[in-house]
Amino acid sequence: MASSVVKVFYNSLGTPEIYDLMQRLKPPSLELVLLDRDDDGERVAKVRECEAIIAAATRLTRRTIEAAPRLRFVQHQGVGYHDTVDVSALAERGIRLAVSTAGTIGVAEHAVMLALAAARRLTFADPELRTGRWHANSLRPVSMELAGKTVGYVGMGRIGQAAAERFRGFRTKGLYADPNVRLPPEREEELGLAPASLDRILREADVVTLHLPLTSDTRNLIGRDELSLMKPNSILINTARGGIVDEDALAAALKEGRPGAAGIDVFETEPVTANHPLALLPNTVLTPHIAAGTWDSFVGKMDTVLSNIAAFFDGRPLQNEIVLGPAPDRSAALLDIARRGP
């Protein structure tokens, strides 16, 4: 084990329950440095003596990184480091980065939940009933079942496959686009999947669900032109990152009924305001970036995160390290496959 205690800074403001869990799970070789307020000044002051940082939804900025002269390792508690960590600042100093994959099940289940809720207009029906308006028949023309429908997956990594496993339980069939993943034939058969271009997915799928990172190449990947290809009464699900979808274009498309509904967990600017264009529509199901935010997931994340940090300072192999450098961006290939097909 490490010969001295390593100070680890948690870059997000947690609740007492979160802090208590972290303290209980951490090995004796680590000392947690925690925030009292969601304040960048406090971050800069507290990170100064730390050798490791745990990053989450709160962006880990260059300012915070540069305020930590002893920093050697950053551990993201999820996988979405692309838009939450200043990777350039880490690379310049040779600071290593790893991610955690413990949120897979929560995100996959959330995607299915959003699809079901959007398919039955749950967020419209519930508040209407509570005010005495009874829509027993008026929602029939816009409601649908998942059974027998086609689900299109944009991205077929860990979460895409976990989502496909769960949608398959509803007797769906599927199409998927991912330039870096071609599933073995037996896995495609198991999940009822076939590879396809993004254009084909948008034209044919009853549900389109996004499972890819936000990068300069995937920003606004789903815009006005792409939305215009979707079927009337189809559903768009986004549990990935908000900037992948042009939100203004989506709001306009939803008003025109193509797609017919959307289930959105992530937004370009978070938190959203009450007058957000998607919040004003009856055919949206909106959640506050909580797809991976279950207690089960957090327990798993913290266990692996803290163990990985201890492994780094012990000189043991890391799990899920990200190689920082000029590696090719997989999302650029996704844009290409969107037009040419697999």
- Indicate which residues carry an active-site annotation: 241, 270, 289
E strands, 220-260, are: 235-238
Q: What is the CA radius of gyration of the chain?
A: 21
DSSP track, 5-29? PEEEEE-SPPPHHHHHHHHHHS-TT
Nearest CA among 320, 340, 327, 339 for reference residue 80 = 320
C-alpha distances out from residue 284 to 116, 136, 264, 271, Å: 12, 19, 7, 17
Tokens for 47, please give them.
């990170």
Report how far residue 225's alpha carbon sits from residue 221's, in angstroms, rounded to the nearest whole number. Answer: 10
C-alpha distances out from residue 139 to 71, 104, 111, 116, 134, Å: 56, 33, 22, 14, 10
Report how far residue 244's alpha carbon sits from residue 26's, in angstroms, rounded to the nearest whole number. Answer: 35
Are the beta carbons of 174 and 164 closer than 8 angstroms? yes
